[in-house]
Structure 1
Amino acid sequence: MLLGFFDIIVLFLSIGISLLIVVPLTGVLVRFRANYNPKALQLDAEGGAAPHTGPVINSYFSMMTRVWRLEGISGLYKGLMPTAISTFSVTILLLIFMETPKPRHGRYRAPEASLLGTFAYSIGMMLVALPTAVITYRSITTPHKLGYLELSKSLRVLLTPTERKKPWILYLTPGLLAAEVLHIIIVILILSPLHRLLLPAVVNPELDPTDISVWKAAVYFVILAFATIIVAPLEVIATRLAIQRNHASSEYNSVAQEVEGDGEETVEYSGTDEDVIGLRHEGDPYTGLVDCAKRIVDEEGIMTLYRAWWVTLLGGLASAFT
């Protein structure tokens, strides 16, 4: 079913309005999960013990307040352009190539297919979206002001020379693909079949949506809560790995940051020398998914893996009952 001109205008207006709401909330979430807050003393340049001087933020809303105080409204909308470009591009492709009589922003389902077909589709969509996600996360966490229309300059800030010459190296970021694939396996191959089994009235439009068994819904909620115990750390790990830049240098290992030839003259947010978040030193990077999880637990504590876990749980509930 083709959409009329008026329907398309309304659709894109609704997307724009939703972006104005979603982008600040997502930006705060990314920064909260990316903030590096070691619990132990750090070694200074001379090998002596020195306390960590970075910001200590213990909640999502504390991070939101901090972003507003230090960077204002423009700081809350960091990451707007890559998010908007990605969202509008995907929407246009869906309108052109897929039969979507009632497309809605923020939620789209894979085409009706077998379980493995849906899994393959999800993997494909993840691979297409991964570079944009990496750029979005980095644009959110950078202390630099990036112009909304200065694409080339922004890419020089966010990507290393190696990444600009070999964009495919983003897929080789240690542990990132593994974290994303595990996330999809849990959602598509485990939660999705259980969702269809326990809440068929929600999945099948031919059934009465009010005909939902209370005890089956309760069982699914328990399953979703246990899944959150695994999925929430994967989301934190994926955030940490996405902002870890790749380079090739004989002086450092394969994922350490290049020291020279990688800078770009940019303006930082004025009014304070205080950074919104602390970032782990790129000279000692995570080398994979397991290494990232282990170092987070050892350096920052296990609860760091569960930052904003309630966002993951609420997202699962929203997906299950809408």
Structure 2
Amino acid sequence: MGFINFIMLAGILAASLGISLLITVPLTGALVRLRANYNPRGLQLDAEGNIEPHTGPVVTSFFGMLRRVKRIEGWAGLYKGFMPTLLFSLVLTIFAVTVLDANSPSRTGRVDPPATGVTGTLMYSLLSMLVSLPAAIITYRSITTPYKLPFFRPLYSLRILLTPTERRRPWVIYLTPGLLTAEVLHVAYTALLLSGLRSLLLPRPGSDDYTFSTFRFGIYLAIEILSTAVLCPLEVITTKLAIQRNHAAPEYNSVEQEVEDDGMDGEAYTEYAGAEEDVIGLRHEKDPYLSFTDCAKSIVAEEGWTALYRAWWITLLGGIASVFATVAPAMSA
């Protein structure tokens, strides 16, 4: 592929992705905020061991969170995370189309590999794991930060989103407690297990030697529906771990608050609400999740097991949409 053709392809993909993200980014932002919101059931202890009631926002519904974002942060707040979502989606899409020659690259918010062979699936899965972790960190923090992030000032935005430790040693983000485990499990389940089952049960796009079977379609649809029980908790845990910032002061835990100033001097979204009110509440940085298992146990103990299934129906609809998008060409033939 020539350089001019590559630039034209990138421009077309960026334009199409940008249009679709105009619709999906506000919805994704509400979903991330809902799953990131820290809403403990009981009383908490402060640093001195005194009982202190939880004073953060209690939002339990997806559309309730969407309305809250609009009320406090306005339209600009609804589109927080637009640029990192566009950039990371564009990277994976260009890789799938140009390197793997795929005609159906992965859909936004889902780690489905494109329609390629085993080698292509492994290549895409590896790149996805390498890209998805920093993508999750930057995108989720962009969405949950109370500060305004200019679209075209990436260095300023990174100073707000990343700690001094993360800016000096970017590889530290791959050591975020539990996050790599969550990403590997998610990618392994969707890009390897579900992809393998899909190739066995459903017709591949462009294949002439495979006929559509209602029975096999029903089996795979049921698998996708039941997978919600696995994927939704992984997505909730990933969200909570991705927004947990890494610090490196020697007298503190490696994920706790640093002594030095984080440089968070940006403009906050307070002009819409007229008061110092954040959209969501977050767990204190001096009480971090220490691992994937610790995060899961802490969520259940502090917020209840239902917190692992916040907006489960969105994960379910995403899986069903993935199935129908795969078999649509065969069903219409």
Alignment TM-score > 0.5, same fold: yes
What residue number does 1:192 align with?
Answer: 195
Residue 20 in 1 paired to residue 28 in 2? no
Q: Is residue 211 of structure 1 aligned with residue 215 of structure 2?
A: no
Q: Distance in 2 between matches of 1:209 and 1:318?
A: 21
Structure 1 position 143 matched with structure 2 position 146: yes
Give the Cα–Cα distance (whole angstroms) in 1 for the partners of residues 180 and 139 of structure 2: 16
Correspondence for 1:249: 249
Residue 79 of structure 1 is matched in structure 2 by 81
CA deviations over 1:88-136 (Å, ceiling 9, x no partner): 344455565453568797488446222x762453032221232132111
8 A contact 1:144–1:266 mirrored in 2:
yes
For residue 112 of structure 1, the aligned residue among 108, 112, 116 is 116
In percent, how many aligned pairs have the same letter? 55
Aligned with 1:165 (options 145, 165, 168):
168
Structure 2 distance, partners of 1:64, 1:86, is: 24
User: Among residues 299, 304, 313, which one is paired with 2:302 in the alignment?
Assistant: 299
> Structure 2: 5+ residue runs without aligned partners?
326-333
Deviation at 1:83, TM superposition (A): 1.6
Q: Shift of residue 197 of structure 1?
A: 2.5
State the Cα distance separating 1:291 from its structure 2 match.
0.3
Tell me if structure 2 keeps the 8 A contact 1:31–1:277: yes
CA contact (8 A) 1:248 1:255 kept: yes
Residues 119 and 185 in structure 1, CA contact (< 8 A), matched pair in contact too = no
Encode CA deviations 1:26-58: one digit per residue, 9 max, x unaligned. 111111110000001012354332220100111
The letter of the residue matching 1:14 is S
Instruction: Note the alpha carbon deviations across 1:286-309, whole angstroms, 9 max, x for none.
Output: 011100000000000001000111
The 5-angstrom pairing of residues 250-265 of structure 1 reads 250-265=250-265
Q: Find out whether 1:126 has 2:117 as its counterpart.
A: no
User: Aligned in 2, Cα 1:66/1:282: closer, same or farther, shift over 3 Å?
Assistant: same
CA shift for structure 1 position 196: 2.4
Question: Using a 3 Å threshold, how does the CA distance of structure 1 residues 121 and 104 change in structure 2: closer, same or farther?
Answer: closer
Q: What letter matches 1:319 in structure 2? A: S
The 3 A distance-change label for structure 1 pair 6 and 235 is closer
> Whole-Å Cα distance in 1 between the matches of residues 228 and 128 of structure 2?
22
- Give the Cα separation in 2 of the matches to 1:73 and 1:152: 23
Contact kept, 8 Å, 1:23 with 1:76, in 2: the verdict is yes
Partner of 2:316: 313
Q: What is the deviation of 1:85?
A: 2.4
Contact 2:102–2:114 (Cα < 8 Å) also in 1: no
Segments of 5+ residues of structure 1 without an aligned counterpart are none
The number of residue pairs the alignment matches comes to 318
Say if 1:15 and 1:105, in contact at 8 Å, map to a contact too. Answer: no
**Distance verdict in 2 for CA 1:182–1:11, change over 3 Å:** closer
Q: Which moved more, 1:304-313 or 1:278-287?
A: 304-313
CA contact (8 A) 1:66 1:276 kept: yes
Regions of 4+ moved over 6 Å: 4-8, 101-105
Per-residue deviation, 1:187:
1.6
Mapped to 2, the partners of 1:121 and 1:92 lie a distance apart of 11
Q: Tell me the residue number matched to 1:229.
A: 229
Note if contact 1:67-1:276 (Cα within 8 Å) is conserved in structure 2. yes
Larger displacement relative to structure 2 (142-151 or 83-92): 83-92
Aligned equivalents of 1:103 and 1:211: distance in 2? 21
The secondary structure found in structure 2 opposite 1:85 is helix
Alignment CA distance shift 1:77-1:205 (3 Å): same
Cα distance in 1 between the residues matched to 2:11 and 2:71: 36
* Counterpart code for 1:48: N
Q: 1:143 to 1:212 in 2, by over 3 A?
A: same
